């Protein structure tokens, strides 16, 4: 692509993102949903207006955008927030992962899928969409115990899900055995935690010194790119690394007024590209490969989230009025699930086509339908403490 075409495409995408944002405000739809639909219409599944060269940026853009999201989610795990909502965050996140594993695996097995395949699909179904949910929470403008707890749950539930996924690979017949999978999981999470602390501690004390109260923009961009790059280089989870670094900085950087003020400022252009390109690369043909078992998969995941969210909230001591809405709020699903599906497909080649079809179709469904349900859940609890 020529430089002129490159710049024109970028300009159109950013302006389209601005238009989608304004449309979302006018219609009260989450801007995530409008951006995804816009990308879907303009992408290969629609009018084919987004050049292939631009669509190929998706991996790089998503890594940067999701690392920023991880920093902001980690920043919500402050001492004060954990003291107030820590019990609820743990019970909801663990309950939802457990309910999803049980309901989806046994439900799919009951309609005739091999139990190993059903178990793998259930583990993939535990994944959520941190970027979409974070943006919906921000767009709602609501800050109460429900949204604070929701941020905490989003920050750690994918970690529980990835741990469960690693165990499921062994239970479903992974030939390398417990030792290999355990070592891989320990490196992915343990290494990410160590790297997050190693980056977060010096950053907490060094950033925000040039301009009192908050880091300058170059510092914010530098920390995000350094975190994402080192995590990829060391082959550890960049999401966990960003989350840990964000939590460390937020809790140790007492000289900051708003430790992530500049990340909040620079995040939106990356999010526009992320959601537009996500929509452009969605594979809607996957719906045709699933059949009735795919419909059952969507229903089972929805039921599991609703039941798990309610039970976890009640175990966490939350009021009944809020408890009903955690499950619907946690329905969005995105890139983490696709990553799980790719790994599972490599381990089980005979199931690879089915795994990818189910995952891609559910990602399309829950990425489009999930954010409006998240926004509705937040608004239904907006007048609670």
- How sure is the predictor about 382, in pLDDT bands with cuts at 50, 70 and 90? confident
267-281 pLDDT per residue, tens: 777 777 777 777 776
- How sure is the predictor about 3, in pLDDT bands with cuts at 50, 70 and 90? low
pLDDT score recorded for residue 38: 78
User: How many other CB atoms sit within 10 Å of the CB of residue 182?
Assistant: 13
Measuring CA to CA, which residue among 230, 239, 246 is closest to residue 340? 239
pLDDT score recorded for residue 304: 92
User: How many other CB atoms sit within 10 Å of the CB of residue 345?
Assistant: 18
Of 26-40, 278-292, 302-316, give the lowest mean pLDDT range. Answer: 278-292
**The length of the chain, given as a count of residues:** 385
pLDDT score recorded for residue 368: 78
Residue 320 structure tokens: 């009944």
Say yes or no to pLDDT of 132 above 70.
yes
Of 150-164, 284-298, 349-363, 366-380, give the lowest mean pLDDT range. Answer: 284-298
Dihedral angle computed from the Cα positions of residues 340, 341, 342 and 347, in that order, rounded to the nearest 10 degrees: 90
Say yes or no to pLDDT of 150 above 70.
yes
- If one compares 132 and 226, the residue with the highest pLDDT of the two is 226
Q: Are 322 and 146 in contact (CB under 8 A)?
A: yes
Say yes or no to pLDDT of 199 above 80.
yes
Decide which of 3.50.50.60, 3.40.50.300, 1.20.1530.20, 3.30.470.20 is the CATH code for 60-380. 1.20.1530.20
Q: Show me where the domains of the chain are located.
A: 60-380
User: How far apart are alpha carbons 54 and 280 in whole angstroms?
Assistant: 10
- If one compares 171 and 332, the residue with the highest pLDDT of the two is 332
- If one compares 331 and 16, the residue with the highest pLDDT of the two is 331
Mean pLDDT of the chain: 76
Stretch 116-130: mean pLDDT = 84
User: How far apart are alpha carbons 160 and 163 in whole angstroms?
Assistant: 5
- How sure is the predictor about 379, in pLDDT bands with cuts at 50, 70 and 90? confident
Q: Please give the share of the chain, as a percent, with pLDDT higher than 70.
A: 74
User: How far apart are alpha carbons 385 and 130 in whole angstroms?
Assistant: 23
pLDDT score recorded for residue 113: 83
* Residues whose CB falls within 8 Å of the CB of residue 25, separated by 6 or more in sequence, listed in order: 31
Say yes or no to pLDDT of 84 above 80.
no
pLDDT score recorded for residue 79: 73
Say yes or no to pLDDT of 54 above 80.
no
- If one compares 247 and 2, the residue with the highest pLDDT of the two is 247
User: How far apart are alpha carbons 225 and 231 in whole angstroms?
Assistant: 10
User: How far apart are alpha carbons 164 and 105 in whole angstroms?
Assistant: 13
């Amino acid at each position: 692509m020529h430089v002129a075409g490159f710049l024109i495409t970028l300009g159109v995408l950013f302006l389209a993102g601005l238009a989608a944002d304004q449309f979302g405000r006018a219609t009260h739809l989450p801007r995530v949903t409008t951006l995804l639909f816009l990308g879907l219409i303009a992408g290969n599944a629609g009018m084919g207006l987004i050049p292939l060269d631009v669509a190929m940026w998706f991996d790089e853009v998503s890594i940067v955008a999701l690392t920023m999201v991880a920093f902001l989610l980690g920043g919500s795990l402050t001492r004060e927030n954990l003291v107030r909502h820590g019990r609820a965050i743990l019970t909801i996140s663990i309950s939802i992962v457990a309910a999803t594993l049980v309901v989806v695996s046994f439900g799919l097995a009951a309609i005739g899928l091999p139990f190993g395949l059903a178990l793998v699909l259930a583990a993939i179904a535990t994944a959520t969409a941190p970027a979409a949910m974070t943006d919906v929470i921000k767009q709602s403008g609501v800050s109460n115990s429900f949204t604070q707890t929701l941020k905490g749950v989003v920050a750690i539930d994918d970690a529980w899900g990835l741990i469960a996924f690693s165990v499921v690979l062994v239970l479903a017949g992974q030939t390398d055995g417990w030792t290999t999978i355990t070592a891989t999981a320990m490196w992915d999470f343990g290494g990410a935690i160590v790297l997050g602390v190693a980056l977060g501690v010096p950053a907490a004390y060094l950033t925000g010194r040039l301009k009192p109260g908050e880091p300058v923009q170059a510092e914010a961009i530098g920390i995000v790119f350094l975190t994402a790059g080192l995590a990829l280089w060391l082959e550890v989870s960049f999401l966990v690394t960003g989350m840990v670094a964000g939590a460390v900085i937020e809790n140790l950087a007492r000289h900051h007024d708003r430790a992530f003020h500049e990340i909040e400022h620079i995040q939106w252009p990356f999010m526009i590209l992320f959601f537009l390109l996500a929509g452009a690369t969605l594979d809607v043909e996957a719906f045709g490969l699933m059949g009735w078992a795919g419909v059952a998969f969507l229903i089972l995941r929805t039921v599991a989230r609703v039941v798990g969210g309610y039970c976890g909230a009640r175990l966490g001591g939350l009021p009944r009025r809020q408890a009903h809405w955690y499950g619907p709020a946690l329905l969005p699903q995105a890139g983490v699930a696709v990553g799980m599906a790719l790994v599972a497909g490599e381990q089980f080649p005979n199931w690879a086509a089915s795994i990818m079809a189910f995952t891609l179709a559910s990602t399309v469904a829950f990425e489009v339908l999930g954010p409006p349900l998240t926004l509705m859940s937040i608004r239904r609890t907006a007048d609670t403490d």
